Amino acid sequence: MEWTGEALLIGVRRHGETSVIAEAMVAGRGRYSGLIRGGRSPKLSATLQPGNTVQLTWRARLEDHLGTFIVELLQARAASLIADRKRLYLSQLVCEHLHLLPERDPHDRLLGMALSLIDHDPDGAALARFELTLLDELGFGLDLDTCAATGATEDLTHVSPKSGRAVSRAAAEPYKDRLLPLPSFLAARGNASPDDIGNAFRLTGHFLDLHIWRPRQLDPPPTREALIEMLTRV
């Protein structure tokens, strides 16, 4: 078995004395792991940094085996990420989120969003949309198009923390203290204030915790809160 494809490296861990197991998001193939023999050598250390784009050749005797990677650097980002703490935290968070996806299941929409986030100045609104899309692709998408109580499609201001469905301003009024604010930029296009971005992360964080982190007994990524504070600082 063999294939070659372009990929975003999202993690590397040691294996034995000289090798590593690399994890990558591969276009058209999803999250893949592979053994890189000699991966701890100085020659490969600069290439095998999370956030870099590489060309991978994967080989294995059988399809369900771990397999081995041969790696070629296509785009190095590690040095520029290390020089900018905000971009570094964003890259680390994006890679942590991509780890949540099932193995060998294509998620090219998320991969494209991840690359755009990493390659541009940190954007809180774009990152919140990425987390919303992550929930959707993991099967826990929110319904932000119509009011759960009335079916209205306008003036949607809140979200039910249980159902993940939007609620209109009028229907939300008696229950506002129990609902999550819905920033308008998540339901429609438009600019986002720091408060809007903070509320967006509160919304996505609630459902990531409800459906993913707690059920899998995971802690939220350690960089997330620090990054949110940077992105919402006035």
Q: Is the residue at 207 inside a domain?
A: yes
pLDDT digits (tens, 9 = 90+) for 158-210: 999 999 999 999 999 999 999 999 998 997 766 789 999 999 999 999 999 99
CA–CA separation, 88 vs 204, rounded Å? 21
Q: How far is CA 162 from the centre of its chain?
A: 22
221 and 161 in a single domain? The answer is: yes
pLDDT digits (tens), the chain, 234 positions: 999 999 999 999 999 899 999 999 999 999 999 999 999 999 899 999 999 999 999 999 998 899 999 999 999 998 899 999 999 999 999 999 999 999 999 999 999 999 999 999 999 999 999 999 999 999 999 999 999 999 999 999 999 999 999 999 999 999 999 999 999 899 776 678 999 999 999 999 999 999 999 999 999 999 999 999 999 986
Q: Give bridge partners of residue 90 from the DSSP assignment.
A: none
Is 48 part of a structural domain of the chain? yes
Q: Which amino acid is at 82?
A: I
CATH of the domain at 52: 2.40.50.140
| 89 located within any domain | no
Give the chain's domain count: 2
Token pair for 196: 């809007």
Q: At 36, which helix (H) or strand (E)?
A: strand 30-36
- Residue 146 has a pLDDT of 95
Q: Is residue 70 part of a domain?
A: yes
Query: Which residue type does 160 have?
Result: S
Query: Tell me, what CATH number does 196's domain have?
Result: 1.20.1440.120
Domain edge (last residue) among 42, 77, 112: 77
pTM for the full model?
Answer: 0.94
Are residues 139 and 212 part of one domain?
A: yes
Q: What is the pLDDT of residue 212?
A: 98
- DSSP assignment letter at 11: E
Residues 6+ apart with CB under 8 A from 108: 27, 28
Check residue 114 and give left, alpha or beta (phi > 0: left; psi -120 to 50: alpha).
alpha
Which distant-in-sequence residues (6+ apart) come within 8 Å of 109 by Cβ? 133, 137
| Domain containing residue 28 | 2-77
N residues, the chain: 234
Q: Does residue 84 lie within any of the structural domains?
A: no
